[in-house]
Amino acid sequence: MANRIMPNLAMRNAKHWVVLSLLVLSCGGCAEFYTLTVPDHVAPAGSEAPVIVRLQQNDLFFVRMASPDQPIRFRIGEGVERNAHSDKAGYAATLVPMPADPGFYLMEVNLSDMEGDEVRRHGRTYVWDPHEAVVAVDVDFLPTDTSAAAVDALNNLAERGVHLIYMTRDGVSDHFDIHRMLEMTGYPSGPVLSWKREFYRIERVTRFRARVVVEKRLVSQLPQLREMFPNLKAGVCDSTLSAKAFADEGMTVLMIGGDEVPEAADVQRVDWGELGSPEMIVPGMPGVARQP
């Protein structure tokens, strides 16, 4: 009899532990009920730039669901605060005034829901002079060796006044790790942006007020970036896919390595040493012409 009872007790105890574990896990999720995703943003100094974040709520088993109709506040430093409500997909977007002085800023994003729960996040915001040179870099192929020639090359570009935008195919949740890699390896600081983002359009509500409407389809960020920064005229990469993305937007492709390049693309094949040399003619630098 005892032999039959002991397995039953063990099974019951195991079931109890499973139930308790699920309760603990679910309650642990309650402490972080919301997931507020704030990507990097980059914008011209003194502009009103579209800012898009996403709010999700963590249900049982940590399934993230969109959290609609929640009030979210945006502010950079002591600047003007802007407000927006999350839509059905959880996106909240508005036009945020950028500082007049170029530099690196932290944008504060806050949520206070009807139940009193509060969430605060900070997003990296890069504010640049729109007339300065900008180069896009496919960050996914960069070497992670601190002594790599790529580190010297990109730092030399930065020292010459070229801003760098790092493009990635990874989701926003992985961008923090990319920033950590860039910092630990010694690359210059710059925004980490996804190749594609949610499509948005700006609707005029009144003569003095506009709103940003986010749609679900994904589009390339490069056209908007080139509109904000006319001297974003070159992209650094090592793959045919990235080269095509740059070429499709009329940019010069600075190609590292021997991958095939799209037909009719404006391509300069370079190595890291050439890219970082003072003799390198960087497309987009004001007052500098391309060599024949």
pTM for this entry: 0.83
pLDDT digits (tens, 9 = 90+) for 105-140: 999 999 987 776 788 999 999 999 999 999 999 999
**CATH number, domain with residue 56:** 2.60.40.10
Query: Is 138 found in the same domain as 16?
Result: no
CA-closest candidate to residue 268, choices 246, 286, 287: 246
Query: Is 165 found in the same domain as 51?
Result: no
What pLDDT shows up at residue 211? 75
CA-closest candidate to residue 98, choices 55, 41, 53, 166: 41
CA-closest candidate to residue 128, choices 187, 49, 52: 49
Query: Is 254 found in the same domain as 233?
Result: yes
Query: Is 266 found in the same domain as 245?
Result: yes
CA-closest candidate to residue 123, choices 243, 37, 14: 37
With a cut of 50, say whether residue 232 has pLDDT above it.
Answer: yes
Domain that holds residue 244: 131-196+222-275
Query: Is 185 found in the same domain as 142?
Result: yes
pLDDT digits (tens, 9 = 90+) for 177-215: 999 999 999 999 999 999 998 888 777 777 667 778 787
Query: Is 161 found in the same domain as 120?
Result: no
**What is the distance, to the nearest Å, from the Cα of residue 182 to the centroid of all Cα atoms in its chain?**
14
CA separation for the pair 223, 221 (Å, rounded): 6
pLDDT digits (tens, 9 = 90+) for 39-92: 999 999 999 999 999 999 876 656 778 888 999 999 998 889 999 999 998 999
Which residue type occupies 94? T
- Residue 201 resides in a domain: no
With a cut of 70, say whether residue 27 has pLDDT above it.
Answer: no
What pLDDT shows up at residue 92? 93
Partners of 50 in the β-ladder: 95
Please, are residues 50 and 202 in contact by the beta-carbon 8 Å criterion?
yes
Would the CA dihedral through 42, 194, 262, 160 be positive or negative? positive
Last residue of a domain, one of 127, 162, 180: 127
Would the CA dihedral through 224, 229, 231, 237 be positive or negative? negative
What pLDDT shows up at residue 207? 65
With a cut of 90, say whether residue 32 has pLDDT above it.
Answer: no
**Residue of 261 and 252 predicted with greater confidence:** 252
What pLDDT shows up at residue 175? 96
With a cut of 60, say whether residue 239 has pLDDT above it.
Answer: yes
Percent above pLDDT 70 for the chain: 84
Q: What is the mean pLDDT of residues 230-245?
A: 95
With a cut of 80, say whether residue 288 has pLDDT above it.
Answer: no
Residue with tokens 């650094």: 236
Query: Is 21 found in the same domain as 51?
Result: no
Query: Is 91 found in the same domain as 77?
Result: yes
Last residue of a domain, one of 127, 143, 175: 127
Q: Regarding beta strands 210-220 and 196-204, do their DSSP bridges make them parallel or antiparallel, or are they unpaired? A: antiparallel
- Residue 288 resides in a domain: no
Query: Is 27 found in the same domain as 77?
Result: no
CA separation for the pair 160, 188 (Å, rounded): 12
Mean pLDDT of the chain: 84
Query: Is 230 found in the same domain as 102?
Result: no
Query: Is 100 found in the same domain as 13?
Result: no
Query: Is 62 found in the same domain as 119?
Result: yes
- Residue 204 resides in a domain: no
Q: What is the mean pLDDT of residues 8-22?
A: 40
Task: Copy the structure tokens of residue 27.
Answer: 């309650």
What's the domain count of the chain? 3
